[in-house]
Amino acid sequence: MIKFFQWIYTTYSAILFVILMLVLGLFVLIPLLISQKGDKISFFFIRLWAGTWSFLSGIRYEIHGLEHIDRSKPYIYIFNHRSFVDAPVIPMVIPQEVRAIGKKELSKIPVFGQVIGKLAVWVDRSDAESRRISLEKLVKFLNQGSSIVVAPEGTRNDTDETLLPFQKGAFRLSIETGIPILPMAVIGANRIMKRGSLLLSPGKVSAYFSAPIQPPLTSQTAVNEFSLKCRNRLEAMILAHE
């Protein structure tokens, strides 16, 4: 009986998401087509989309550590990726206009791919050239003063481990540009959409921000050591609050 109501709730929530996307998608897209500086307007409508969907779906957000974020400076945000619900979490909890890496497969979703594609860098993780091009685009955004969001695990964590092994791209990027890493622990998203299920449940997502971690000077071991340092920080945050 509980699963029956979960299916009804999930269907309602999915239809609501699509309706909001169709209604607000153009308001996200048009400012960015006119000017790259239109991202403030676009993000207003993205947050309206994510916030309305979350409110009407019974999903609440609790944010801790905003004092660590200087909104005038760019950061490379890293987070633990355990749920598809992480997508609306990002614009709801990060108080900056950000760019993110997304799987190339998502770009093929009608309307969604076109709308989010203006704010995301699509990458085929199985293709080294695609990864190289995506990193070049992210460097460009960082040099323009925009923050970016990366899931360093590379994919959704469906295991019992706190974190999957980290890919090194974000940390290499940080060292090359001098932009600090800012860890963000997302707690509770995997309870809203549990592992191995497409069913949703209402609930609360908590986001915890750490103080930024400054990148080290370039050396042969810098990337690996910096990646480990950031991983340890994020893992400690998750274990402390989960």
The 3 state secondary structure assigned to 211-231 is CCECCCCCCCCHHHHHHHHHH
Q: Which residues contact 217 (CB under 8 A, 6 or more apart)?
A: 175
Per-residue pLDDT at 106: 67
Contact 176, 232 (CB under 8 A): no
Give the count of beta carbons closer than 10 Å to the beta carbon of residue 47.
15
Query: 196-234 burial string, b = 16+ CB within 10 Å, else e?
Result: eeebbbeeebbbbbbebbebeeeeeebbeebbeebbebb
Q: What is the pLDDT of residues 228-241, one digit of tens each?
A: 999 999 999 999 99
CA 169, CA 160: separation in Å to the nearest integer? 24
Give residue-wise pLDDT tens across range 114-144.
667 767 777 777 777 777 778 888 888 888 8
Q: How confident is the model at residue 111 (pLDDT cuts 50, 70, 90)?
A: low
CA 42 to chain centroid: 16
- Rounded to the nearest 10°, the torsion over CA 137, 175, 179, 153 is 70
Phi, psi dihedrals of residue 184, rounded to the nearest 5°:
-135, 115
The CA distance from 9 to 57, in Å, is: 8
pLDDT of residue 130: 74
pLDDT at 79: 96
Say what the pTM is.
Answer: 0.90
By mean pLDDT, which of 113-127, 141-155, 156-170 is the weakest? Answer: 113-127
pLDDT digits (tens, 9 = 90+) for 177-224: 999 999 999 999 999 988 777 889 999 999 999 999 999 999 999 999
Contact 16, 53 (CB under 8 A): yes
Q: pLDDT value at position 193?
A: 87
Residues 83-92, mean pLDDT to the nearest whole number: 89
1 pLDDT tier (thresholds 50, 70, 90):
low
Query: Listing from the earlier edge strand, what are the strands of the sheet with 120-123?
Result: 59-64, 203-209, 181-187, 76-79, 147-150, 98-103, 120-123
What element of type H or E holds 149?
Answer: strand 147-150
Q: Which residues have CB under 8 Å from 143's CB, separation 6+?
A: 177
